[in-house]
Amino acid sequence: MTLVLRYHEARSRALFRELDANPSLLLLGGAVALPFNPDDGLLERYADRILWPPISEFATAAAAIGAAMAGLRTLVPISTSSFMFYGWAPIVNEAPNVRYLSGGTVSAPVAFHVMAGSRRGGAAQHEHTPQAMLHNVPGLRVLAPATPADVDAAVHGALTGDDPTVIVDNVRLAEFEGPLGSSPADIRLPTLLRDGSDVLIVSYSLMVQQALLAAGLLANQGIAAAVLDVAQLAPLPHAELLAATERHDTVLFVDESRAAGSPASHMLARVVQARPRVTARLLCTLDAPAPFAPALVDAIVPGPAQIAAEVRALLGR
Amino acid sequence: MTLVLRYHEARSRALFRELDANPSLLLLGGAVALPFNPDDGLLERYADRILWPPISEFATAAAAIGAAMAGLRTLVPISTSSFMFYGWAPIVNEAPNVRYLSGGTVSAPVAFHVMAGSRRGGAAQHEHTPQAMLHNVPGLRVLAPATPADVDAAVHGALTGDDPTVIVDNVRLAEFEGPLGSSPADIRLPTLLRDGSDVLIVSYSLMVQQALLAAGLLANQGIAAAVLDVAQLAPLPHAELLAATERHDTVLFVDESRAAGSPASHMLARVVQARPRVTARLLCTLDAPAPFAPALVDAIVPGPAQIAAEVRALLGR
Amino acid sequence: MTGPDRLRRLAAMLRARRFDETLIANAALVTGVFHVSIGHEGVAAALAGARRASDLIMLNHRNHGALAAIGTDLEVCYREILGRDGGPQRGRAGSLHLADAARGVPYTSAMVAGGVALAVGMALAKQRLGREGIVFACFGDGAMGEGAMYESLNLAALWALPLVFVCESNASADRDGSRANVLQAARTLTGLADVHQIPATSVDGGDPEAMARTMDDAVAAVRGGGGPRFIEARLQPWPGNAAFLPRLVTGELDLSDAERPGAAGAWSAADPVLAEARALLRDGVALADLLVLDRSVRASVERAFASAAGAPSAPDSVAMSGVWAP
Amino acid sequence: MTGPDRLRRLAAMLRARRFDETLIANAALVTGVFHVSIGHEGVAAALAGARRASDLIMLNHRNHGALAAIGTDLEVCYREILGRDGGPQRGRAGSLHLADAARGVPYTSAMVAGGVALAVGMALAKQRLGREGIVFACFGDGAMGEGAMYESLNLAALWALPLVFVCESNASADRDGSRANVLQAARTLTGLADVHQIPATSVDGGDPEAMARTMDDAVAAVRGGGGPRFIEARLQPWPGNAAFLPRLVTGELDLSDAERPGAAGAWSAADPVLAEARALLRDGVALADLLVLDRSVRASVERAFASAAGAPSAPDSVAMSGVWAP
Ligand SMILES: Cc1ncc(C[n+]2csc(CCOP(=O)(O)OP(=O)(O)O)c2C)c(N)n1
Ligand SMILES: Cc1ncc(C[n+]2csc(CCOP(=O)(O)OP(=O)(O)O)c2C)c(N)n1
Ligand SMILES: [Mg+2]
Ligand SMILES: [Mg+2]
């Protein structure tokens, strides 16, 4: 019997499991589910495992990295992803250098959790997609789960792996349901969530769920769309990505990031380099800061209808 | 008679010209040419136009942005590009929002200058390519000059335009020579620096100079390589890029950034989307932090020999 | 202060309060989070009283009260908060980024301490360009945790900038009183400005008269070229902010409570609007006059809301306009 | 302090000085910029004297002296600075990032104040894991400009972390003396720690004995569970640092100058190594014994350099190894 959970339930379950498995694991702040997702009781249940820092993102991020070097693993719930820009220097220019500069003798296994993407109503300063910057940093591991199984694997990978890791989460994933295996999956492996021979849609995080909805719309129109979920954005699993895309000659890459620098543009480049005859297209959020009004957000962020329309355009149907 | 200058001479000339043209233009710090390029006398000549801040990159960057909103234009010489990570939040999450949030009634015309890329000996914390992050930010203008004419246009554009602008410079460009027009060129337009029918190499900043050297090597081997210089990375001039690449069916995109998130991967995606039958390839710095030893840097950063080899591989010759 | 001036101050505070109350009553129409200024009206009124047309003001995520107090068009604010077309922002900004360039609020950052550092630059512009006016930076106690605040204090002091730091401190006090609050190791928040040789004053922000006096003194010093000043306005945390979205747990303000000392609970005792009303009553103004004023404020606030709620959304194209210079 | 201890201290300081002098003499072999610790040897020796094997130390871009003083293999350091193979870093790090995990220096950040914030976390780890040892964070006066420093002081104080902040202050004093230095509005650097209720002491870092006493006192307090301490070591700026690359403008150290008071210039009067030598002479140690020690230090430093300069570079594959966990 497979366990089926909502995304937010799977996230809490994974987090509690890791907290129980590693009694010294410390949280620097507690805003993982809260304030935007249902309260999972983390704050009461693990009150003694949470240290609440002042609003000091730089020192908090750096402290987490320093603690990791000294043997204390922490998870830093940064909440809205843009707050991490205040702690950008340690995250992109300290943590990822530790292993390299020490020749592998020292590591900084620390995990950051951020809520990225358009949650609606966050506006220009609260709806970023920092993965489009983070995946450029060698030494950082960037995980962007889309499903309950993904988030289970991402939390496990981030809290037991040996790399500084950022979990790029999305508030709007909370209610999506999905099956979980008996143990956490390998987050590095792309997952084919739906098969279909006409087109392959490659994506990650919330856009995978939007792609699945689009695939449903397309099926009604006689178009069979496959959906591939690539949850580890950095280091990008090249070989696995190529293997998973090789049966399709038409591939749409969908990303909530703006196109310039997007993980999708990098995946597209990798795929067309290896297979020059593929017809590839990119569908991203348009080049504007996040507007406040939901209707305006819908005008720039891809949803199922836009994805389906793009597929039809790509197939000429 | 065309004026031919070295890159660093053209940069100083442009900067002095803009300082003379706008008497209220203020520099927050003075490390444009210094410490890595020849002293151009800026510090003595314009001593009263330079305000030296403490080592406070956040407040300095933010102050420059706030000053811009209040009518005072500044240039912030950040020196090594990674120092800007300390001021990342205002640069990527204040400046680019000003125009948008005000509906175009307020703007933040401020310029940042950074030295990016591997200067040799800088090691993991001093040899970044922040353009791979910055070009993802709608509202920021990102300029990465390669030639004396480019830097002339970039300095002019940054110090007279109405967008917050980052000039992504490179210490190793200093001695390259080139012609200057009678007035600054339009930095938005890609420039074909060398023509050739077999292959087109698209790049920016230092890698353009490396591509020109590679084209020379290739010419000796009977391969005619064209070199296109795209100096404005954001907003990327799509139409102009497509027009400038349309005569070539084989295109190599070269970038000193790591591939994931690189401007080159974005350009590649744009080109192959528009022209699916193009054979495109990406040549980037390999996925590691910058090592210290020059020999190790040469093992990961593309140079003329690697570019030429990649072209040959692409053409199967 | 003269009677009409004080009535004007109460009017500014009422505008702020009634604006937020009406919004909370209609919270279901708002997308996402918003922050209200209930309890901060004394600071808002002091700011409105001290500012001149040439000044610039940097607010933060909690900006409604100050805007209402300085006279920003409330219908434009409501339209923006509801994501409707109307003002120059046209639904792109929302509550977090309300602004009013015509009244010296060109841009509002919602990042903690983000606006403070921007304000340093605005003050630098005033100074270098020899322009009239000074700059106000309003921020919360939480901003004192950010390194950006420290850097800003240092720059402002080093460069002797015409800048008033206004800390709206609504944090609960530290248990044993040895620290400014539970997230600050410093004994006082003013100490953190003082160490940079910025004259700093702590004042009861729930007492609008004291607040205004402190503000006026600081502003006079800054206008006189004395460099930056720092004000800590100590505010009672309004209990309605405890939840994710503000809730009117204290009920709507009833100005007649000003005549019923002790009638209401702890909040009424701390409410700056009631404090101001009480002071006016003490000065001999009649409650009836205050109620007339309140009714007119309420009516105009409600008209503004009704009109905003009926306004259309901006067309989709607005989402893509104003990103880069044309 | 006993005689042998003091000789050991001089030996540590000489190791540091001779290491840097030899490097400057061979600067042409180094790629890029490097930073020397000339004038900082008193701090380095105090650190070496106070540290225990279980402690952790966070250095900065100016790290040579401390490493030399705590006994790091100098040939490995030279190899790294020259970009050669040898130690675990194998040419990937260079001067900026020299480290010695075996002696409690797992990682060295070259970002101003970057290491300080990391050290906060190391101290948090010591505290939460109940591990033995404390943490030292060494940084320059320039780091006091960074917001990261302020946040670090606040966190360390709030959480009562076992952390010694060591500020190596080599800045020129402000003209009129009303500020700590030209880039700091605060009157003193210690004031910036003190305001966070971190006990802070300023000491003449050019006086190795006073420096060691101050360090030992602070370390004892921190080991005793008293929370963080802050030390400002006031250092004479060494004139050789004025250029882009350090130049030996003051000449090589001549220990016999310790017997010729006033013979040399202003720098000699401030030189902490000479100060230490003078103190030893005052205590009755013979100059000849100091010169013997010096010769042996020099010989070993020169051997280390010669051997490093002959070492090979690492193979190209090293550039790509150690990026992510295997
Ligand atoms: C840099 C940054 N970090 C975190 C947040 C999230 N945030 C929004 S309001 C707030 C609390 C701010 O407290 P304070 O400054 O005291 O203002 P108050 O809401 O109490 O008026 C926080 C942490 C943010 N907006 N910006
Ligand atoms: C964040 C950051 N900004 C700027 C620099 C460039 N930089 C290197 S050393 C230095 C001066 C540091 O002064 P101080 O901290 O006093 O150390 P000192 O060199 O005097 O020992 C600067 C600005 C840097 N390394 N990191
Ligand atoms: Mg507060
Ligand atoms: Mg210094």
Chain D: closest CA distance from residue A91 (Å): 11
Closest atom of ligand 1 to CA, residue C112? 26
* DSSP character at residue A137: S
Q: What are the C-alpha distances in Å from B160 to residues A12, B75, B110, B154, B165?
A: 52, 11, 9, 10, 10
Of the candidates D76, D93, D98, which has an alpha carbon nearest to the alpha carbon of residue D304?
D76
Share above pLDDT 70 across residues of chain D, in percent, rounded to a whole number: 98
Share above pLDDT 90 across residues of chain C, in percent, rounded to a whole number: 92
A202 DSSP β-pair partners: A228, A253
Residue in chain B lying closest to A292 (CA)? B101
Q: How many CB pairs under 8 A join A and C?
A: 107
How many whole angstroms from D32 Cα to the centroid of ligand 3? 47
D200 DSSP β-pair partners: D230
pLDDT tens readout for residues B210-226? 999 999 999 999 999 99
Chain C: closest CA distance from residue D118 (Å): 15
pLDDT tens readout for residues C231-242? 999 999 999 998
Structure confidence at residue D4 (pLDDT): 75
Ligand nearest to the CA of C112: 1
Structure confidence at residue D3 (pLDDT): 66
Over residues A54-82, mean pLDDT: 98
CA distance D133 to D118: 16
CA distance C185 to C196: 17
Structure confidence at residue D177 (pLDDT): 87
* Residue D182 near residue D174 (C-beta atoms within 8 A): yes
Structure confidence at residue C263 (pLDDT): 58
Q: Do C155 and B56 touch (CB under 8 A)?
A: yes
pLDDT tens readout for residues B134-185? 999 999 999 999 999 999 999 999 999 999 999 999 999 999 999 999 999 9
Structure confidence at residue D174 (pLDDT): 79
Q: Where are the alpha helices (DSSP H) in A161-303?
A: 206-220, 238-245, 263-274, 294-298
Q: Closest to B103 (Cβ–Cβ): which among C90, C114, C324? A: C90
Q: Do D153 and C185 touch (CB under 8 A)?
A: yes
State the DSSP string of A7-60: HHHHHHHHHHHHHHH-TT-EEES--SSTTTS---SHHHHTGGGEE---S-HHHH
Share above pLDDT 90 across residues of chain B, in percent, rounded to a whole number: 99
Over residues A203-213, mean pLDDT: 98
Over residues C21-36, mean pLDDT: 97
Of the candidates B245, B286, B78, which has an alpha carbon nearest to the alpha carbon of residue B165?
B78
Ligand nearest to the CA of A31: 1
Order across the sheet with A74-80: list the strands.
A50-51, A26-28, A74-80, A111-115, A165-169, A141-143, A232-234
Q: Do D186 and C196 touch (CB under 8 A)?
A: yes
Over residues C249-255, mean pLDDT: 96
Bridging pattern class, strands A225-229 and A191-194: antiparallel
- Give the three-class secondary structure for A77: strand
Q: Is the pLDDT of residue C14 over 80?
A: yes
Ligand 2: which residues within 6 Å by Cβ?
B 55, 57, 83, 86; D 35, 61-62, 110-112, 139-143, 168, 170
Q: Closest to D31 (Cβ–Cβ): which among B121, B124, B286? A: B121
* DSSP character at residue A317: -
Q: How is residue B114 written in tokens?
A: 């950074």
Helix or strand run (H / E) with residue A123: none
Q: Closest to C324 (Cβ–Cβ): which among B97, B106, B235? A: B235
Structure confidence at residue D1 (pLDDT): 60
Over residues D75-91, mean pLDDT: 97
How many whole angstroms from C92 Cα to the centroid of ligand 3? 26
pLDDT tens readout for residues A271-286? 999 999 999 999 999 9
HEC string of chain D equals CCHHHHHHHHHHHHHHHHHHHHHHHCHHHCCCCCCCCCCCHHHHHHHHHHCCCCCEEECCCCCHHHHHHHCCCHHHHHHHHCCCCCCCCCCCCCHHHCCEHHHCECCCCCCCCHHHHHHHHHHHHHHHHCCCCCEEEEEEHHHHHCHHHHHHHHHHHHCCCCEEEEEEECCCCCCCCCCCECCECCCCHHHHHHCCCCCEEEEECCCHHHHHHHHHHHHHHHHCCCCCEEEEEECCCCHHHCCCCCCCCCCCCCHHHHHCCCCCCHHHHHCHHHHHHHHHHHCCCCHHHHHHHHHHHHHHHHHHHHHHHCCCCCCHHHHHCCCCCC
- Give the three-class secondary structure for B110: coil
- List CB contacts (< 8 A) between D179 and chain C: 158, 197
Residue D284 region, left (φ>0) first, then alpha (ψ -120 to 50), else beta? Answer: left
Share above pLDDT 90 across residues of chain D, in percent, rounded to a whole number: 92
Provide the mean pLDDT of chain D: 96
Q: Closest to D92 (Cβ–Cβ): which among B53, B119, B292? A: B292
CA distance B142 to B267: 14
Could you tell me if B114 lies within 8 Å of chain C, comparing CB atoms? Answer: no
Chain B: closest CA distance from residue C126 (Å): 7
Residue in chain C lying closest to B90 (CA)? C114
* DSSP character at residue B62: H
Q: Is the pLDDT of residue C220 over 80?
A: yes
pLDDT grade for A39, boundaries at 50, 70 and 90: very high
pLDDT tens readout for residues C93-122? 999 999 999 999 999 999 999 999 999 999
Q: Do B100 and A263 touch (CB under 8 A)?
A: no
Residues 6 or more apart in contact with residue B52 via CB below 8 angstroms: B29, B30, D183
Structure confidence at residue D2 (pLDDT): 64
Structure confidence at residue C175 (pLDDT): 76
Nearest CA to ligand 2 atom 11: D142
pLDDT tens readout for residues D61-79? 999 999 999 999 999 999 9
Could you tell me if A58 lies within 8 Å of chain C, comparing CB atoms? Answer: yes
How many whole angstroms from C265 Cα to the centroid of ligand 3? 22
Q: Is the pLDDT of residue C3 over 80?
A: no
Q: Do B93 and A128 touch (CB under 8 A)?
A: yes
Over residues C75-79, mean pLDDT: 98
Structure confidence at residue D265 (pLDDT): 79
- List CB contacts (< 8 A) between A143 and chain D: none
Residues 6 or more apart in contact with residue C26 via CB below 8 angstroms: C305, C309
CA distance D197 to B113: 39
Residues 6 or more apart in contact with residue A280 via CB below 8 angstroms: A250, A251, A252, A253, A268, A271, A272, B269, B272, B273, B276
Which chains does D contact via 3+ CB–CB distances below 8 A?
Answer: A, B, C
- What's the alpha-carbon Rg for chain C, to the nearest Å? 19
Of the candidates B4, B11, B3, which has an alpha carbon nearest to the alpha carbon of residue B150?
B11
How many whole angstroms from D95 Cα to the centroid of ligand 4? 17
How many whole angstroms from A97 Cα to the centroid of ligand 4? 25
Q: Closest to A70 (Cβ–Cβ): which among D121, D321, D323? A: D121
How many whole angstroms from D141 Cα to the centroid of ligand 4? 5
Q: How many CA atoms lie within 13 A of A10 on its CB side?
A: 31
Helix or strand run (H / E) with residue B79: strand B74-80
Structure confidence at residue A85 (pLDDT): 99
Chain A: closest CA distance from residue C142 (Å): 6
Nearest CA to ligand 1 atom 20: C140
Provide the mean pLDDT of chain A: 98
Residue in chain A lying closest to B91 (CA)? A85
Structure confidence at residue A280 (pLDDT): 97
Taking the whole predicted model, whether its pTM rises above 0.90 is answered as yes
* Residue A89 near residue A50 (C-beta atoms within 8 A): no
CA distance C124 to D308: 51
Over residues A142-161, mean pLDDT: 98
Cα B290 to the chain's mean position, in Å?
A: 19
Please say whether the dihedral angle defined by the alpha carbons of residues D14, D18, D19 and D20, taken in this order, is positive or negative.
positive
Could you tell me if D94 lies within 8 Å of chain B, comparing CB atoms? Answer: yes
Could you tell me if D146 lies within 8 Å of chain B, comparing CB atoms? Answer: yes
How many whole angstroms from D98 Cα to the centroid of ligand 2? 16
Q: Closest to C129 (Cβ–Cβ): which among B60, B72, B99? A: B72
CA distance A155 to A167: 8
Nearest CA to ligand 1 atom 22: C112
Ligand 1: which residues within 6 Å by Cβ?
A 55, 57, 83, 86; C 61-62, 110-112, 139-143, 168, 170
Residue position matching structure tokens 């210079």: C325
How many whole angstroms from D242 Cα to the centroid of ligand 4? 11
Nearest CA to ligand 2 atom 17: D140
Q: Closest to D322 (Cβ–Cβ): which among A60, A99, A141? A: A99
**ipTM value:** 0.98
Structure confidence at residue D264 (pLDDT): 61
Q: Do D319 and B59 touch (CB under 8 A)?
A: no
Total Cβ atoms within 10 A of residue A305: 13
Provide the mean pLDDT of chain C: 96
CA distance A96 to A139: 4
Over residues D172-188, mean pLDDT: 90
Over residues D112-135, mean pLDDT: 98
Q: Is the pLDDT of residue D235 over 80?
A: yes
* Residue C218 near residue C201 (C-beta atoms within 8 A): yes
Cα B1 to the chain's mean position, in Å?
A: 28
pLDDT tens readout for residues D277-314? 999 999 999 999 999 999 999 999 999 999 999 999 99
Over residues B113-128, mean pLDDT: 98
Q: Phi and psi at residue C168, in whole multiples of 5°?
A: -95, 95
Could you tell me if A106 lies within 8 Å of chain D, comparing CB atoms? Answer: yes
Q: Do D93 and B126 touch (CB under 8 A)?
A: no
Instruction: For residue D88, give the amino acid letter.
Output: P
* Residue B161 near residue B124 (C-beta atoms within 8 A): no
Residue position matching structure tokens 């309890």: C39
Structure confidence at residue C99 (pLDDT): 98
- Give the three-class secondary structure for A103: coil
* Residue C132 near residue C54 (C-beta atoms within 8 A): yes
Structure confidence at residue D22 (pLDDT): 98
Which chains does B contact via 3+ CB–CB distances below 8 A?
Answer: A, C, D
Q: Do D92 and A100 touch (CB under 8 A)?
A: yes
- Give the three-class secondary structure for A5: strand
Structure confidence at residue C172 (pLDDT): 80
Cα B71 to the chain's mean position, in Å?
A: 26
- List CB contacts (< 8 A) between D227 and chain C: none
HEC string of B244-274 equals HHCCCCEEEEEEEEECCCCHHHHHHHHHHHH
CA distance D156 to A56: 12
* DSSP character at residue B300: T
Residue position matching structure tokens 């040895």: C178
Q: What are the C-alpha distances in Å from A113 to residues A28, A77, A110, A178?
A: 11, 5, 10, 21
CA distance D47 to B12: 45
